[in-house]
Amino acid sequence: MDGIQPLKTIDPFAQRIHIAYFSMEIALRPEMHTYSGGLGVLAGDTARSCADLEIPVVFVTLVSRSGYLKQEIDANGRQVDHPDPWEPGGWTEPLGAMITVPIEGREVWVRPWLMPLTCPLGHCIPILLLDTDLEQNSPEDRKITDALYGGDAEYRLKQEIVLGIGGVRLLQALGFSIHTYHMNEGHAALLGLQLLRQRRHHPEDVRPGEPVFDPAQVREMCVFTTHTPVSAASDLFAYDVVEKVLGDYIDIGELKTIGGTEALNMTRLALNLSGYVNGVAERHAETAHRMYPGYQVRAITNGVHVQTWTHRAFARLYQSAFPHWAHEPEVLSLGDQLKDEAVWSAHQEAKRDLLYLVKKVSGVEMNADVPLFGFARRMTGYKRPDLLFTDMERLVAIARKQPFQLVFAGKAHPRDEQGKNLIAELNGYARQLANSIPMVFLPNYDIRMAAVLVAGADVWLNTPLPPMEASGTSGMKAAFNGVLNLSVLDGWWVEACVEGVTGWAIGDDDAFGTGAGHADLLYEKLDQMVLPLYYKDRGRWIWMMKEGISKIGAYFNSQRMMRRYATEAYLR
Ligand SMILES: *Cc1c(COP(=O)(O)O)cnc(C)c1O
């Protein structure tokens, strides 16, 4: 760290920016494979809104050179995993600064790439992507920032050291003086340990040039957003792994008092080191509070970035009716004033784009006049992508009277066998239904495909098992495009659903039920409400589209979300 001069390119940022947002993943653009799903998309939308609103935040993440996962579907309908590499040089510039982090007793070098993210109005915020692929490091250490969510627990912990400890050291080396550190999920919690290590009463732990903080000061500086609705899903490390990888960086006995006695629980660590903690929807904050009694968990409900997720046909419509909609999406509350014909024709344009994609990728020709249901998100057990197929006879009987078509997409984590089996199952249903319900599974879901899907469907389906869906954001993206949500009441939908107005609920609000009756209720709603409305009362359907745009669009956007983070979490 000694003697490193802040670089010309980062200098103006370092002078001005005092808030840092740390995230293991971030979705910035389709060519940058630095994200896996919803968490990364949220981080990306957060960055875009910070740029729009000129909220001075520096973002810190890993470069993830091999990406997350390129998904191929084989002849048996099963997911085949491939690496998904990308070339940082195309989108970012290397910075000359380097720092080290302690890993297994070695000093591992870390260098950042800088991606300046500029919003349409010209304001720019910096994204730093940390990289260990440097000639100073051993071949093994060069791979630490390679595979997002890859490898075993040791590999993951090394990545979290680079992100949390490396990120703090790097910002200091670059000349930033950060007063607020925001941890997006527990992966970033080690940043708090680094701040703690610099505390006042262990001056011998402090390297030259590192500022010192005490525990109360650390909590003052840290904000934690949790996304985990069940403790089993927390990031956990056995203490023998922690001891092996972190060495004498921190006293393990002391770590246990703040990170959990059984195993290092990154959620608990982040909770103990943060003075402001929030969940990502009202329901999720309640669930998180129940999981971790004794901590105050506030709620800042997620939102999505409107310009990123609105189809150009709707963007044109909004631009002419509400010129400031992108900066201040609250004006979409007047969306119920839009003309029916304009809304319907914008939707048909978005639907044609989706039908074109379906044809190109799968060869299946779908029909623009038949309602299309979309379901796309991470493929994993609790999301229940198979719920719709619980009773195949009943499903086919419904479609015989009132035809519909289905588009699915989503990746399963390479080690999620249940998720992979679900994908094979869905592809099996698509074959089985070939003569009754047109259905495709589009491979390799990413943000580019998501934009086409959430705009081009007629209905966006979501069937998670409550309370597992912390928020969910794809349904918000759909609403900006006049797509109606049909969803189990969980996460954001508990707040957004006005039955028969903004969309439909599947079942009652029952956070701790078994979800057992949901398939029946889904069929009922499909057969009695959704399909009849589409076929018999187009005027009422378009009215609902506009209610969704106005009621959901005005609130579930990332401008509103970031104004809340800025005023409540950053300005404390
Ligand atoms: C929005 C988005 C998600 C999140 O979808 P949920 O329904 O909230 O789980 C995941 N992956 C991609 C590529 C997305 O764009």
Query: Which residue puts its alpha carbon closest to atom 3 of ligand 1?
Result: 38
Kindly list the distances between the CA atom of residue 263 and the CA atoms of 191, 192, 267, 497, in Å, as whole numbers in the listed order. 18, 17, 11, 39
Whole-number pLDDT of residue 4: 45
**What pLDDT, in 10s, does the model give residues 253-295?**
989 999 999 999 999 999 999 999 999 999 999 999 999 999 9
Cα separation, 264 vs 348, in Å, equals 51
pLDDT class of 2 with cuts at 50, 70, 90 = very low
Query: Which residue puts its alpha carbon closest to atom 11 of ligand 1?
Result: 37
Ligand 1 atom with minimal separation from the 449 CA: 13
Tokens of residue 282, six digits? 């009202």
Whole-number pLDDT of residue 515: 84
Kindly list the distances between the CA atom of residue 99 and the CA atoms of 106, 135, 247, 283, in Å, as whole numbers in the listed order. 13, 14, 18, 41
Residue 524 has pLDDT above 90, yes or no: yes
Q: Is 480 in the pocket of ligand 1 (CB under 6 A)?
A: no
Out of 149, 280, 305, 447, mutate this one to test ligand 1's pocket (max ligand atoms within 8 Å of CB): namely 447
- Among candidates 292, 206, 193, 203, which has minimal Cα distance to 245? 193
Tokens of residue 331, six digits? 């004006």
Question: What sections of 390-517 are H helices per DSSP?
Answer: 392-401, 417-432, 447-456, 474-480, 493-496
Cα separation, 68 vs 28, in Å, equals 14
What's the CA-to-centroid distance between 381 and ligand 1, angstroms? 15
Whole-number pLDDT of residue 6: 47
Whole-number pLDDT of residue 572: 86
Cα-Cα-Cα-Cα dihedral of 260, 264, 269, 271, to 10°? -60
Q: Is 411 in the pocket of ligand 1 (CB under 6 A)?
A: no
Tokens of residue 284, six digits? 């999720």
The answer to whether residues 162 and 131 touch, using CB atoms and an 8 Å cutoff, is no
What's the CA-to-centroid distance between 347 and ligand 1, angstroms? 21
Residue 399 has pLDDT above 70, yes or no: yes
Cα separation, 214 vs 225, in Å, equals 22
What's the CA-to-centroid distance between 533 and ligand 1, angstroms? 27
Cα separation, 139 vs 327, in Å, equals 46
Q: Is 474 in the pocket of ligand 1 (CB under 6 A)?
A: yes
Whole-number pLDDT of residue 201: 46
Whole-number pLDDT of residue 1: 37
Whole-number pLDDT of residue 5: 46
Q: Is 377 in the pocket of ligand 1 (CB under 6 A)?
A: yes
**What pLDDT, in 10s, does the model give residues 542-565?**
999 999 999 999 999 999 999 999
**What pLDDT, in 10s, does the model give residues 104-155?**
999 999 999 999 999 987 899 999 999 999 999 999 999 999 999 999 999 9
Cα separation, 453 vs 460, in Å, equals 9
